[in-house]
Amino acid sequence: MFKRLMVMLLIVSFIGASLGLALASGDKGNSRKGKYLYRKNCRVCHVENGKAKELSPISKTQAQWKTTFEARDKLACKAEWAKMSDKDINDIYAYLWGHAKDSPSPAKCK
């Protein structure tokens, strides 16, 4: 039991560390894939007159996107995030972080 717990802890910490590393610098994900995934999964609700607040990459600074992603288990849509692969999450992050309002290439349109 103790061994299984240790293995699980190791896996969790490894995933957390790798994702944390990636989140520190959004250019490790595929921003173009992230744009597609964001539109497909997030913009369904985060749209003008949608179920959730309208969002685009320029809605937040890079630091705010980092904070948001690190605490995504506290978001109203945490169940949706839980279904997503780490790669997809990282790709969406690369898109939003990479085109944030204080990024070198802020997104031009919503």
Q: Give the residue from 86, 34, 93 showing the smallest Cα distance to 67.
A: 93
Rule CB under 8 A: choose which of 8, 17, 36, 53 binds another protein: 36
Rule CB under 8 A: choose which of 8, 11, 20, 40 binds another protein: 40
Per rule CB under 8 A, is residue 59 in the interface with another protein? no
Per rule CB under 8 A, is residue 87 in the interface with another protein? no
Per rule CB under 8 A, is residue 110 in the interface with another protein? yes
Residues at the site binding another protein, with contacts judged by CB under 8 A: 30, 32-33, 36-37, 39-40, 43, 47, 61, 101-102, 104-106, 108-110
